[in-house]
Structure 1
Amino acid sequence: MDTEAIYQEGFAHRCEGRYREARQAFERVLGSDPDHANAKWQLALVAGFEGDFEGSAVMLQQVVSASPRHVAARYDLAMTYMMLGMNDEACMEFREVLRLQPDHDQAKRQLAYCP
């Protein structure tokens, strides 16, 4: 199975709430392509879905640092910051999402909570 097929398998597992299987698939992707930004992003989401918001934030920060134009990861980082009560950081990320993608409706809605 090629890397993209494994990634899609992991994505399907994640969407179905089968986080252990999702994590295994994303780790397989990263084993063959250590720079696969989407696999790293999805692993971060799995961590958050399992309740590890701090770990999720750290992983999302790494994705955004390596891929600054990864809008979805940046938006998820902002949402994770909100869950952690890091509102200033979240608002900064929502603004950056909108700079990169001005029509991002979810980020626009979240900015209503920002000073």
Structure 2
Amino acid sequence: MLTRRLYPPSGPGLDFRFPLAETKLMKISGIWRLVAFLFFSAALSSSCNKTISLVKIDDGLNAEEHIRLGSIYLANGETFQARQQFQRATIEDRKNADGWFGLGLAEHSLGHFRSAALAFEKVLNLKPDYAEAHNNLADSYLRLGKIEDAVREARAAIRLGGEQAAFYHLTYAEALIAVHDLKSACAEMEAARNLGRDNPLLLGQLEPLEIKHCHGR
């Protein structure tokens, strides 16, 4: 239900906005090689296109290039391929936090919440102040029934703040629901609404929880 609350990191090489066809020159092992990324798109609406398939890729990529390719696969819904690319990135560079973050996203999307939690823990070992990783780890812990750990990580995400803070409050609200603290959970949902009142994705997940747990209180 909450997978969509896992956000791609916004760092270099992890932009989810891709053109229909993109050709790049990448410097690999001291030589320039041509890497062609070819996409087919289908219109979802008059203002939105969705990538359908990645037809051709080159091999021999470095960690950052595996992360970019994994991000393309993940945005395209090809989660197994995305996981493979993020795994390769972390093999190439064990200290690449974006690689571990992407791997956590892929594992979570596949329902592998224990593996997702391990990946997000790796991120936080490298970047302790990565708010989104704290939030995503909290979400993974919730699905594993590790409620106290989820509460701790959600609080850490809220303390760090950032553009996605509304979602952190929503994650915290869910953790509070799990411990039957509905009064505090509803207060967190109100905070989430105030911060994300113009975010339809947030509201789509928030409103059912408000109706179930807060209306009439």
TM-score bracket, normalised by the shorter chain, equals: 0.7 to 0.9
Counterpart of 1:108? 169
Write the distance in 1 (CA, Å) between the matches of 2:94 and 2:122.
13
Write the distance in 2 (CA, Å) between the matches of 1:102 and 1:32.
30
Counterpart of 2:88? 28
Please report the RMSD computed on the Cα atoms of aligned residues, expressed in angstroms.
Answer: 2.0
Letter in 1 for 2:123: V
Aligned residue among 29, 54, 62 for 2:114: 54
CA deviations 1:43-70 (Å, max 9, x no partner) are: 1221122121112112211221221111
CA deviations 1:61-114 (Å, max 9, x no partner) are: 122122111111111100111111212111111110011116600111232332
CA deviations 1:27-49 (Å, max 9, x no partner) are: 33334332110111111221122
Q: Aligned residues: percent identity?
A: 26
Please say which structure displays the higher CA radius of gyration. Answer: 2
Aligned residues: 115
Q: Which has the higher strand share?
A: 2
TM-score normalised by L of structure 1: 0.84
TM-score normalised by L of structure 2: 0.48
Gaps of 5+ in 2: 1-25, 27-61, 182-217
CA contact (8 A) 2:135 2:171 kept: no
Q: Following TM superposition, where does structure 1 have runs of at least 4 consecutive aligned residues deviating by more than 4 angstroms?
A: none
Q: Which has the higher helix share?
A: 1
CA distance 1:13–1:112, shift in 2 (3 Å) = same
Gaps of 5+ in 1: none
